[in-house]
Amino acid sequence: MNKTDKEFLDYLDQWLANLPAISQDEVFSSPSQSAILSVDITNGFCKAGSLSSPRVAAIIPPIVDLLQHGWKAGLRNIALIQDCHTPDALEFQAFAQHAICGSEEADTVEEIKALPFYSELKLIHKNSIDSQENTVLDSWIAERPEVHTFVVVGDCTDICTYLLAIHLRAKANAYHLPWRVIVPENCVATYDLPLALARQIGATPHPGDFLHKVFLYQMALNGIEVVKIIE
């Protein structure tokens, strides 16, 4: 590693540690103009199956807390965007089979299903890592032209969450829309597959902490508001 790379990695650690917090009052002050988009907080990524991860399960409580506070503030624009794969999904060429439609893995985690307003949340199914390809996401957003603040939470930081946040920011830029896209770091996570284990099982390594930081930074580079927490 050269000196420049080391300096940047040190900077990246400092950047992550110094992320600002923003208040719920700021985000939810005009609840009809805000939305929360939650990605893949399902059993298959949190609790059971080949792609489940305790790192991802750890963000369930802060996401539930955010949903509760948003709902209490009057926010009703909440969408749960979740994998619902066909048995022959092409995505399985890159990732192990997971979240087949109708399976336990594809189901929302119980902590969210237990919310008294769960039945009023919008469930959006996707058959790829992209939340807007061949889904109703963009039409759901178009039906809510008053919404200009989007809070994105879920997993994985470097895959589905990243693609969703980038899609929203790029769409806002392309159409000159006055949107805010906010990603609270305490409500996003990714899995970890160390190099040694990856070599042992013949898989692609996935350093979770490193990729979490790098992709949050990449979001910030593109104008997404990455914050420590919405408190």
Structure tokens at 80: 């749960």
Is 44 inside any structural domain? Answer: yes
CA 145 to chain centre: 22
3-state secondary structure of 121: coil
Q: Is residue 14 part of a domain?
A: no
Q: Is residue 109 part of a domain?
A: yes
Q: Does residue 67 belong to any structural domain of this protein?
A: yes
Question: Which domain, by its residues, includes 178?
Answer: 27-86+95-230
Could you tell me the CATH number of the domain that includes residue 149? Answer: 3.40.50.850
Q: Which residue has the tokens 């939470």?
A: 153
Is position 8 within any domain?
Answer: no
Report the candidate in 155, 175, 212 with the shortest Cα–Cα distance to residue 37. Answer: 155
pLDDT tens sequence for the chain (231 residues): 687 788 999 999 999 999 999 999 999 999 999 999 999 999 999 999 989 999 999 999 999 999 999 999 999 999 999 999 999 999 999 998 999 999 999 999 999 999 999 999 999 999 999 999 999 999 999 999 999 999 999 999 999 999 999 999 999 999 999 999 999 999 999 999 999 988 998 889 999 999 999 999 999 999 999 999 999
- The β-bridge partners of 155 are 189
What's the domain count of the chain? 1
In a domain, 6, yes or no: no
For residue 183, is it within any domain? yes
- pTM for this entry: 0.96
Instruction: Answer yes or no: is 43 within a domain.
Output: yes
